[in-house]
Structure formats: structure tokens, C-alpha cells
Amino acid sequence: MKRTIYEFLLVCLVSVTLTGCYTHRQVGLLQERDKLPHYDSVPYEPYRLQVNDEIIYRVITLDETLAKTLAVNQSLSGGSGQYARGYRIYSDGTVDLPFLPPIKLEGLTEREAQDTLKKYMRELIPDAEVKLALSNKQFIVLGDIGSGVRYIYKERMTIYQALAMTGDVQNRGDRKHVRIIRPHGNDKPEILEFDIRPNSLINSKYYYIYPNDLIYVNRDTSSYYKQETYPAFLGMITSYITVLLLVLNYIPGF
């Protein structure tokens, strides 16, 4: 009887020890284990403009009279015949610019949109040079990763760089089911779910972050039984042992 109880208590203690702390297999990144999902590499696709995106463009010309005529808001015009202002892409995929017909930009990359706008602008200003950029280059984070809006500071920003900007996923975060909600203009948003731990994530379809992405990391249900720090874990073990010893004192024959 006594031996059975001791064996039971030993099993309980070992179980608590194994489940009470985080391991590299659970939270480590860039792992190469057969049991983890494997993701295929795919070519990088540049971001394409969508409905409700906002562009900023700048027209450069030697004719300052034309530049000032274009400048609806004088506070937005710079020196040397430069002009810049933001415009939204409407639900039909077009953008309305001063003195130009509606121009369809939805589905174009930034470079393609810039070349398209330059073509139209040169019908008015023969020497016009156009610089175009997307003004809403941002993504959103929610869950056990911190919450807020972060800005994409470079092309081809990766999921790892995005996580670094938010302070990384907490240990209690569910790394097995990270989700990215990716809007597609007027269409239904795409939901991408993946395990962030395997090394094969690099260059997969989950690797790059695009404007308007929402990254969501839920809390792992098993984390309710784990401790963030080693001293806290030792405190938990000590508490378990104390309770077990108190129980044993009330068992006859001990």
C-alpha cells in the first residue's frame, strides 16, 4: 500500500515537472524535426494595390507653373516643382486625380501603378516624372504577441521581422496555429494558419508580410499549467510537495 502511494506520488511529480516548463521543441523557431509540418517554397509575389488602399504620388517637372496648378493643396507641394498628395482607390478599382480621368490601379504593383500614372501625366506635362508609393503600409497584431498597428519599413518583410517589432510571441502563445488574415479588396479575406516553428517556413507562402495583414496568435491552452520563469516553476514544485506531505501526514501508517 505504502509503495503504491509512493509510486503514484512519484508519477505525479514527474508529470508536473514535464508539463510545468517550456522546452525548445515547444517554443523554438527554425527547427528541423520530422514531426513538424513541412512547407513548400514559393516565389515571392509583390503586393498588388487593392480597394481602399491609399497612394501618394509626386510629380516632378521643370515647369513650376504647371506644378503649382496641379497642387490643389499648396501646403503639400514642395520646392523645385514637386507635388505630392494622397488618394484612395475606390470600390471600382480606380483613383481620381486632378485633371485626369479615373485611372484603374487595382491589381497593379507599385511600380506598375507608377508607370501607368506617368503615362497619363505625360499627356499633360511632357517632361513629367512620377514617384508613387503606398501610404498604408502597415499590419496589425493581436493576441499573445502584443496588440497594435506596425508599419512595414521595407519590401519583403518576413514574419520573423514582424514578430521582432512586436516583442516576439510570448511563451504561452500557440505557435502551432498562428493565423494571418489577409484582405483581398472587395473579396472575402484569406485566412492563413501555420506552425511558426519549422525551418521550412522560410520562403513559404506564410513567410512574407503584406500591407493590411492581421497577425493573430491565440493563447495555448496548455500554458495555463506552465510557468514563465524558472524560479516560479520551482515555487510551484515546492507548493506541490508541501501539499503532498500534508496529505501523507493524514494517511494512516505513514
pLDDT in tens, 194-244: 999 999 999 999 999 999 999 999 987 764 455 555 555 556 666 666 666
pLDDT digits (tens, 9 = 90+) for 48-106: 999 999 999 888 888 877 766 665 433 344 444 555 568 999 999 999 988 899 999 99
Helix (H) or strand (E) holding 9: helix 2-19
Please give the angle made by the CA atoms of 182, 183 and 185, to the nearest 5 degrees.
Answer: 155
pLDDT digits (tens, 9 = 90+) for 109-137: 999 999 999 999 999 889 999 999 999 99
What are the strands of the beta sheet with 54-60, ordered from one edge?
77-78, 82-88, 54-60, 129-134
pLDDT digits (tens, 9 = 90+) for 93-103: 999 988 899 99
* Same-domain check for residues 8 and 83: no
* Same-domain check for residues 103 and 182: no
Last residue of a domain, one of 113, 134, 155: 134
Task: Compute the average pLDDT of residues 173-187.
Answer: 91
Of residues 125, 126, 170, 175, the one with CA closest to residue 147: 170
Measured between alpha carbons, how far is residue 114 from residues 81, 109, 128, 133, 137 in Å? Answer: 18, 8, 12, 8, 16
* Same-domain check for residues 68 and 121: yes
pLDDT of 62: 86
* Same-domain check for residues 218 and 152: yes
Residues 100, 63 contacting (CB under 8 angstroms) = no
pLDDT of 74: 35
Residue 33 lies in a domain: no
pLDDT of 78: 46
* Same-domain check for residues 214 and 236: no
Residues 22, 174 contacting (CB under 8 angstroms) = no
CATH code for position 115: 3.30.1950.10
Residue 212 lies in a domain: yes
Which range marks the domain in which residue 86 is found?
A: 54-134
Residue 154 lies in a domain: yes
Of residues 124, 164, 171, the one with CA closest to residue 141: 164
Q: How many CB atoms sit inside 10 A of residue 167's CB?
A: 10
Last residue of a domain, one of 118, 134, 150: 134
Residue 31 lies in a domain: no
pLDDT digits (tens, 9 = 90+) for 18-52: 555 667 787 888 899 999 999 999 999 999 999 99
CATH code for position 211: 3.10.560.10
Does residue 6 surpass a pLDDT of 70?
no
Residue 27 lies in a domain: no
- Number of structural domains in the chain: 3
Q: Which residues contact 127 (CB under 8 A, 6 or more apart)?
A: 61, 62, 63
